[in-house]
Amino acid sequence: METRSNHVLVGSVVLILIAVLALFAVWLARLSGGDDREYDIFFKQAVDGLSAGSQVTFSGVPSGQVKEIAFWQPDPSLVRVRIAVKDAVPILEGTTATIQGSFTGPSSVQLDGAVKGAPAIACPAQKPEAACPLGVPVIPTKASGLGALLNSAPKLLERLSTLTERLTDMLGDKNQASIAGILANTNRLTDALADRGPEIAATLAETRIAIQKAGIAAEQIGDLAKTTNGVLSDNIKPTIANLNKTIESAKKSMETLDATIADARPGVQAFSKKTIPEVGQLIQDLRIMSQSLASVAEKIDQDGAGSILGSPKLPDYKPGKKK
């Protein structure tokens, strides 16, 4: 009976201790995580070296830890990382998250970029599911220098391999001979230029003198232009004024001549319509009279003046011999 009572007592004490330890553990958990705030971060890159419990830092200061890492089902190219940070950490708008990689140890989540005076990152009151798909605020990401380098390393190695192959092709035996010829020609050209150094220097000196002379000539042309402007102002302007007066007088003379022609126009028209036809008729009559006089003169030459006054004389008859 006593043995049985002892077992019951020991069991009861053990149960009580287990319950106390459980309550203490719950209390510690609430004490350690009661003031933490949770955020989601969606990385569009590999999260190598990151795991649950990895450290979260804000500007290099330890501020929390990673709670969960999972794929984001709506977009498999994204990796969702849930973090918990202390309440005193200023997660403000402008804060970004990066993965701080390490070659010798685990990676961590680096937070920075908070703007002084900006509001805290929180879920909006209207349509919170768009900005907070899982009910907690989302911190935007930016690519870290090392992370971007590690992600682009395969492409970089591929480009280096391609560049190496092209360099190998370019530095082949044929191209090396061409490069050697180019270098030899360059050396000869350099030697020729060195030999012609004094001539080049003399040419440069002559060019400098020519430029100076051109500058002096330009100044002289400027002075000549000023003198020409003065001559035009003093001598040409009066001549132009006299020319304008002459043109004005000629214009008045032309107007007077136009008026005179207008006045004489009726007489000219009458002369053209009456006098000219009469003169024409007179000329025609004179032509007929001259023709008649010419025929009379011809008749007098042939038959004498008597042919005009009487009938023509018959020729003398002479009887002929009968046959």
Q: What is the pLDDT of residues 52-99, one digit of tens each?
A: 999 999 988 999 999 999 999 899 889 999 999 998 899 999 999 998
| 288 assigned to some structural domain | no
pLDDT at residue 323, rounded to an integer: 43
pLDDT at residue 54, rounded to an integer: 92
Q: Comparing C-alpha atoms, which of 319, 322, 321, 300 is closest to residue 309? A: 300
Identify whether residues 53 and 142 lie together within a single domain: yes
Counting the structural domains of the chain, the total is 2
Q: Which domain holds residue 125?
A: 37-151
Average pLDDT over residues 107-123: 89
| 292 assigned to some structural domain | no
Identify whether residues 99 and 167 lie together within a single domain: no
With a pLDDT cut of 90, the percent of the chain lying above it is 16
pLDDT in tens, 288-298: 777 776 776 66
Question: Of 151, 172, 199, which one is at a domain's C-terminal end?
Answer: 151
- Encoding tokens for residue 144? 């870290």
| 27 assigned to some structural domain | no
Contact 93, 139 (CB under 8 A): no
Contact 89, 58 (CB under 8 A): yes
pLDDT at residue 239, rounded to an integer: 66
pLDDT higher than threshold 70 for residue 276: no
pTM score, two decimals? 0.41
| 104 assigned to some structural domain | yes
Phi, psi (5° rounding) for residue 49? 85, 0
